[in-house]
Structure formats: structure tokens, C-alpha cells
Amino acid sequence: MKLMILTTGGTIEKTYDEQQGHLSNEISVLDRILNRLRLPDFEITHVPVMNKDSLEMSEEDRQKILDAVKTCIPQTDAILLLHGTDTLDQTGNCLYQFLENLEIPIVLTGAMRPFEFRDTDAIQNVTESLLAIRMLKAGIYAVMHNRVLPFPNVRKNYKNLHFEAF
């Protein structure tokens, strides 16, 4: 199965800078995540789109993500988009609004805690997303914390720290 994974930054890809003493989006951690998993049937292509906290994303950034997704669609069987959780719903709604007649699944996922943290949810969310991609029909979905939610009508529940349908 051909899979394109687009990375945009977000908490899932934050790394700790010991000299500065803070977390930031500097480099993608995708290879480190994938190296922990056994994925014999995937032909994965990494497409770095940007490396930003999703709270810093602009409409121009969402357009850049949309353009990258449109470019990838004819070349793949599915797309996984790693994204920050704070505005994942906005990007998912943008994709839902502007992508018609999809023939592949597009899954958005992220993490509430960075991959580098011991108690990260990154591995769980990426693993669940990879399994969901194999089973989902064409459409746009948020996959996180043992939930598969089709767009639109997806939002982050800040109190319970998960995504939900509304």
C-alpha cells in the first residue's frame, strides 16, 4: 500500500532544546516514530510541509497543506497528516470543504504530548491511524485516542483532552 505522510509540526513533533530550555518545532520526528513500528506492507513517502505549532498556523498555511494534499492524492492510496491538535479541526474542515470526490482516505492525527515525552500518546495515535487507513473508505477523518471521527463536525474537547464528534 502506498502511503504519503505529510508532516506539519504540532505537539507530536516538538523536540526539547536543552540549551534553550524549551520545546519547539525544529525537525520532524516521523522517522523515529516509524522506526518503532513494524510496517512491512506500507510503501511510505514522507512529505514535509512545514514545522509549526498549529496555534501559529495561518490561512496561508492551511492553503499550503491543502495544496500539498492535492498534489499527493494522485500518487498514493492514502494520506496521513501529522498535525497539531489545537487547530487540527480547522485543517480537517478546510480539507473537507475543498476536496471533493475523494477516492482515498485522508487521516489527521497528532498528540497531546510530544513524542519525546515518556508518557506520549504519539505512538498510539500513529499506530491507530495506520490501521484505520487500511480499513476506512474514502473521506477525511481524525484518528486519535481509539476514535475514528469523520469530518466535518469534529472538535477538540479541551477539558477531557480528546477529540469528539458534535
pLDDT in tens, 117-150: 999 999 999 999 999 999 999 999 999 999 999 9
Task: Count up the domains in the chain and report the number.
Answer: 1
Beta pairing partners, 155: 164
- Coil, strand or helix: which one is 36? coil
pTM strictly above 0.75: yes
Alpha helix positions (H), the chain: 30-34, 59-72, 88-98, 122-135
Query: Domain range holding 70?
Result: 2-165
Phi, psi of 92 (to 5 degrees): -60, -40
CATH number at residue 24: 3.40.50.1170
